[in-house]
Structure 1
Amino acid sequence: MSFFQSSNSSTTSTGTSATMATEADLGNDIVIQNPADDSISDIAFSPQNDFLLASSSWDGKVRIWDVQSGTAQGRSQYEHKGPVLTTRWSNDGSKVASGGCDNAVQLFDVATGQSNQVGAHDSAVSSLRFVNCGPSNTECLVTGSWDKTIKYWDMRQPNPVSTLMMPERVYTMDNKAQLLVVGTAERHIAIINLSNPGTIFKTAQSPLKWQTRVVACYNEGDGYAIGSVEGRCAIRYVDDEVQKKNGFSFKCHRMANPNRAPGTANQSMVYPLNSIAFHPIYGTFGTAGGDGCFNFWDKNHRHRLKGFPSLRASIPVINFNRNGSIFAYALSYDWHQGYAGNTPGYANVIRLHPTRDDEVKEKRKR
């Protein structure tokens, strides 16, 4: 199915049977029931273990799960003084970092079970990543905040190694290799070469018309995908010539309006694209949104690999484990309908889907 074939590309009413899954295809998913007392904000797998998972949530807690036995066992947890918005593992898998609405950056030692604050911003910490930067390729923690800055920390001293002003409030951030991409309010994109982390290499404006929800970098470190609140995804490249040749955008996470009046034009219900994750081996990617669907895509051949039916609850975040054999997704309220949409009994679970090659491996066009 081409990206350009239909605006309703994430629904069960479009695509061929070969590209559409059913709920039976999710029958082997591991379900973590009641993983938090409020919505899940982030999910991250250990880069050193296929079965260790960290999750952050709006209840102010970060939890670590072991899913090796086929069931999820809670291993550890620690707390912030406010909702936690982001979490990631260190490169050696020994520590978990997190940030949130208490403006604090915390670091949790998995072996000792101890957490301590290693940094702070003047507003909420919305995103963080462990990166290797500078001439010595040193590992450090980079954090982005609503205070319009990103900060680099070596985690052994209380002050940041470097602070870099952003064009606006930081909403999202990702990195691969030497590429760091920051998405801010007002649709600004800041591109940073981690060989020179103290300066912005290039700034751009999102080609999507509405607020940026997520950015995710390609495995090769030469480009990134942008997702927005209007259910669109943009495929972007750092090099201008490559962008002219290969860049594009497409509609996703839209559904036909079941309540449209008879005889009226087709109408789509538009949902935010909340999360994008690239497969660590194949370089294909998943998207998930407020429609409760997730899809796997091949950007190089511009088609959808597999679409999954709506699970009737928004999906705020997705991620793959280190070898791409497990795809984690959360069902939690994402506030796209405001306060009125947060009804009693709204789903709040984490599901782990064992991936198959026919779902996530690129298929060359005949």
Structure 2
Amino acid sequence: MSWNNHNKPKQPSIAGSIAKDVELPADNCDTIQSMRWSPVSDHLAAASWDGKTRIYEVAKDGSGQGVAVLAAEGPVFSCDWSKDGTLVAAAGADKKIHILQAASGETLSFAAHDAPIHDVRFLNAPDAPSPIIASGSWDKTVRYWDIRNTSAPVASLPCGERVYAMDTVGQTLVIATAAMKVLLVDLAKPTVIHREEQSSLRHQLRSISLSPNGKFWASGSIEGRASVNAVDQKQAKAMNFTWKCHRDATANNKVTKVYAVNAVACHTTMEDRVVTCGSDGIYNFWDIKAKQRLKNFPSVGGAITSCAFDRTGSWFAYAVGYDWAKGYTGNKPDYPTKLVLHPVGEEMDVVKDGMRR
């Protein structure tokens, strides 16, 4: 199912504003590839191509300051917080997992894969004696780690293709791989692929995000298109759809510029709200139940490479930096590299008949 000309997203009458967006200190020297908020506090982790994951403490007014740095031996592609907010994990090109103890500042690093790691996630494992980490790599495996003994993974899952993105909620792990495959894993049986699907998107997957209730995942691709898919196959007919976004048609509508959807994120408290972020430097808020774009925002001046909502859903963080969409020739010395917070307000409400619902 898709949003076609007869059922396309309704456009809001007023565009969103970035006037109140707050820029955090420009500590990173290169593009931020991943960011995650603490699930228990107002701290934000941002992983950068400069080999560092920086931890920011964010005040109620959106101002922030760096409080810790976790260093790697190469570009960092992913980061995540443990469920209790005591640990930060990061991974990337050096094939290692790096862990920071938030309270003490102590760090731990260990070799984890035979190729760069694209995503790392702490799993919901309440009965485990120690936090369990899942890491997805271009070596075509997901490996599970108990940080008490990092000499070998506690288990491994062959994925058949390179892992491009992962997310987890509850007992579900969703994995996007090359060849437009999506793998679903029931963490009760972490070494078994519960379901494998061909993505409803037709080109390389760039990002994936599970809804907070675990009922669906949203994904984005390099062709300026996003999708929503039900975790429960019984809900697929009613819930699954794709739509075009991050595209720019010229005045004569004969040429359309298509931009990659670099990041998608599900709102943390509103179950039907999703944001998409693109190479066009634009982020859009969507109501996927009403199949409606709630607000379209103006360009922020550079490609958006990563995004995340905080635990309350009141702050939306996004990173601006070069995404290599135009090759090395597009990487100018003055290309913006920044980390920004947007205060989330009424733009998440559906506008209908002049009333917010």
Letter of the 1:337 partner, please give it. Answer: K
Residues 193, 133 of structure 1: CA spacing in aligned structure 2 closer, same or farther, 3 A cutoff? farther
Check the 8 A contact 1:118/1:157 in 2, yes or no: no
5+ residue gaps, structure 2, are none
1:56 aligns with one of 47, 51, 56: 47
Aligned equivalents of 1:246 and 1:7: distance in 2?
14
Please state whether the residue corresponding to 2:124 is helix, strand or coil: strand
Check the 8 A contact 1:35/1:350 in 2, yes or no: no
The sequence identity of aligned pairs, in percent, is 37
Check the 8 A contact 1:133/1:196 in 2, yes or no: no
Provide, for residues 78-116 of structure 1, a one-character-per-residue CA deviation record: whole Å limited to 9, x for no partner: 210100000011111111000010000011011111211
Residues 305, 138 of structure 1: CA spacing in aligned structure 2 closer, same or farther, 3 A cutoff? farther
The offset of 1:359, in angstroms, is 1.2
Q: Does 1:342 align with 2:331?
A: yes
Check the 8 A contact 2:211/2:217 in 1, yes or no: yes
The offset of 1:17, in angstroms, is 2.3
Q: How does 1:109-128 map to 2 (within 5 A)?
A: 109-128=101-120
The offset of 1:363, in angstroms, is 5.5
Residues 279, 265 of structure 1: CA spacing in aligned structure 2 closer, same or farther, 3 A cutoff? closer
Check the 8 A contact 1:101/1:124 in 2, yes or no: yes
2:263 aligns with one of 257, 275, 297: 275
The offset of 1:28, in angstroms, is 1.9
1:164 aligns with one of 148, 151, 157: 157
Check the 8 A contact 1:98/1:107 in 2, yes or no: yes
Provide, for residues 107-136 of structure 1, a one-character-per-residue CA deviation record: whole Å limited to 9, x for no partner: 101111121114511011100111124976
Residues 160, 338 of structure 1: CA spacing in aligned structure 2 closer, same or farther, 3 A cutoff? same
TM-score by length of 1: 0.90
Please state whether the residue corresponding to 1:96 is helix, strand or coil: strand
Check the 8 A contact 1:87/1:99 in 2, yes or no: yes
Residues 301, 138 of structure 1: CA spacing in aligned structure 2 closer, same or farther, 3 A cutoff? farther
Residue in structure 2 matched with residue 248 of structure 1 by the alignment:
241
Aligned equivalents of 2:83 and 2:128: distance in 1?
16
Residue in structure 2 matched with residue 15 of structure 1 by the alignment:
11
Check the 8 A contact 2:80/2:89 in 1, yes or no: yes
Aligned equivalents of 1:6 and 1:334: distance in 2?
34
Check the 8 A contact 1:108/1:116 in 2, yes or no: yes
Check the 8 A contact 1:8/1:268 in 2, yes or no: no
TM-score by length of 2: 0.92
Letter of the 2:258 partner, please give it. Answer: V
Letter of the 2:37 partner, please give it. Answer: F
The offset of 1:247, in angstroms, is 0.8
The offset of 1:219, in angstroms, is 1.6
The offset of 1:266, in angstroms, is 2.7
Residues 74, 135 of structure 1: CA spacing in aligned structure 2 closer, same or farther, 3 A cutoff? closer
1:189 aligns with one of 158, 167, 182: 182
Provide, for residues 119-176 of structure 1, a one-character-per-residue CA deviation record: whole Å limited to 9, x for no partner: 5110111001111249769741101000000011111102111011002000100111
Aligned equivalents of 2:80 and 2:350: distance in 1?
27
Please state whether the residue corresponding to 1:317 is helix, strand or coil: strand
5+ residue gaps, structure 1, are 259-263
Residues 207, 188 of structure 1: CA spacing in aligned structure 2 closer, same or farther, 3 A cutoff? same
The offset of 1:286, in angstroms, is 0.8
Aligned equivalents of 1:268 and 1:293: distance in 2?
16
Q: Does 1:80 align with 2:72?
A: yes
Residue in structure 1 matched with residue 212 of structure 2 by the alignment:
219
Letter of the 1:318 partner, please give it. Answer: C
Q: Does 1:90 align with 2:79?
A: no
Compare 329-338 and 231-240 and name the one that shifted more: 231-240
Aligned equivalents of 1:87 and 1:7: distance in 2?
37
Letter of the 2:105 partner, please give it. Answer: G
Residues 17, 364 of structure 1: CA spacing in aligned structure 2 closer, same or farther, 3 A cutoff? closer
Letter of the 1:100 partner, please give it. Answer: G
Q: Does 1:65 align with 2:56?
A: yes
2:291 aligns with one of 263, 278, 302: 302
Runs of 4+ more than 3 Å apart: 2-9, 133-139, 361-366
The offset of 1:34, in angstroms, is 2.2
Letter of the 1:297 partner, please give it. Answer: W
Residue in structure 2 matched with residue 261 of structure 1 by the alignment:
none
Residues 57, 329 of structure 1: CA spacing in aligned structure 2 closer, same or farther, 3 A cutoff? same
The offset of 1:344, in angstroms, is 1.4
Q: Does 1:131 align with 2:123?
A: yes
